Amino acid sequence: MTEGPPKQIKRLKKEIEIAASPAAVWKALTDGEELARWFPLSARVAPGAEGSIFLSWGPGCEGEARITGWEPQKLLRLVEQAGGVAGPEGVTIEWKLEQRGGSTIVRLVQSCFSAGGDWADEYFGSTEYGWGFMLLNLRHYLERHAGTPRRVAWPRLKVSVPREEAYRRLAAPGGLFREGAGGLTAGADYMLETSTGASFEGRVEFVRPPRGFCIRVRELNDALFWLTIEGTGGEHEVQLWLSSYGVPQAKVEGFEEEWAGVLSRIFAAEAKS
């Protein structure tokens, strides 16, 4: 029997400091309602070392992880499956919390075995970028909106262009913003007019061409507005994600409809059903 290519273990490491107690961070990681305020659209948790955490972003985008390590306010270890990347070994996600003064240092390590290839490379690239946003959202929630339910808008569109071309169109003048997004600088303030005719201003959290960027929007009660472009080769899905707190549901729904229209206009010839 011919063996496939040897598998190698890959690890992704992230760290963030949050001005909140270990108890508050632990609850945000292990309580279903709290998880939905920064990570998935919905969640449920069976707590304890033999329990599980189920996360959902809607049908076709959900899964359950087994809890294999449970030390309240110190360590949470999960094992989940991830299709062709993980194989039978699964993906291990480990959270470690350390109090430092009035803050908590959150360390995330995700590891799994992979035989490599384009799909696996994209999985790790997308996961690394995605965790960057999700950890930022965790800090943003705990430091600025703790205890407030989140409302999400998530317009997205499948397109048949490479990631670099998709990002170029989105960031160009007349794309997402009338003046373009080329002047966004991480850590700096910005002021832009959107293609929907609204005025946005706030802080730029990060810029990662050609994957996307994240900005705060003061006009939407300090919401986070995130662009991500997922996929491989010439098949991608452009996604806009709004994490909002204290914004009326009707306004969030209107936001999703407006920005779905923007994506359709930018990629009118390349959109895929």
Mean pLDDT of 84-109: 86
Residue 36, helix vs strand vs coil: coil
CATH of the domain spanning 8-144, picked from 3.40.50.720, 3.50.50.60, 3.40.50.300, 3.30.530.20: 3.30.530.20
Angstrom distances, CA of residue 212 to CA of 208, 230, 244:
5, 10, 19
- Tokens representing residue 23 in the block: 């108890």
- Dist CA 71 CA 56 (whole Å): 24
Which residues partner with 12 through β-bridges? 110
Q: Is the pLDDT of residue 4 over 70?
A: no
Burial class (CB in 10 A: 0-12, 13-18, 19+), 40: buried
Could you tell me which of 181, 222, 177 has the C-alpha nearest to residue 199? 177
Least confident of 80-89, 134-143, 158-167: 80-89
| Residue-level pLDDT at 2 | 42
The mean pLDDT value for 83-107 works out to 84
Nearest-angstrom CA–CA distance, 253 and 251 = 5
Residue type, 229: I
Report the pLDDT averaged over residues 14-29.
98
- What is the b/e burial string over 101-121, where b = at least 16 CB atoms within 10 angstroms of the residue's CB? eebbebebebbbbbeeeeebe
**Average pLDDT of the segment spanning 13-42:** 98
- Stretch(es) of the chain classified as CATH 3.30.530.20: 8-144, 150-266
Instruction: Tell me what the mean pLDDT of segment 6-27 comes to.
Output: 90
CATH code of domain 150-266: 3.30.530.20
With tokens 């293609």, the residue in question is: 195
User: Which two three-digit tokens encode residue 165?
Assistant: 């071309």
Whole-angstrom Cα distance, residue 85 to residue 101?
39
Reported as a single tens digit per residue, the pLDDT across 104-158 is 999 999 997 665 556 567 878 899 999 999 999 999 999 999 999 999 999 999 9
Q: For residue 271, what pLDDT band results from cuts at 50, 70 and 90?
A: low
Is 43 in contact with 52 (CB distance < 8 Å)?
A: no
Whether this prediction's pTM lies above 0.85 is answered by yes
For residue range 32-74, list pLDDT tens digits in order.
Answer: 999 999 999 999 999 999 999 999 999 989 999 999 999 999 9
pLDDT at 1 over 50: no
Instruction: Please report the beta strands in the chain, taking only residues with DSSP state E, as ranges in sequence order.
Output: 8-18, 42-46, 52-56, 62-71, 75-80, 91-100, 103-114, 150-153, 156-159, 189-193, 199-208, 212-217, 223-232, 235-245
Average pLDDT, the chain: 92
**For residues 235 and 47, what is the distance between their CA atoms, to the nearest angstrom?**
39
Here the tokens at position 24 are 């508050």
Out of 77-81, 172-176, 197-201, 232-236, which region has the weakest mean confidence (pLDDT)?
232-236
- The answer on pLDDT for 259 being more than 60 is yes
pLDDT exceeds 50 at position 21? yes
Tell me the two tokens of residue 69. 């390590």
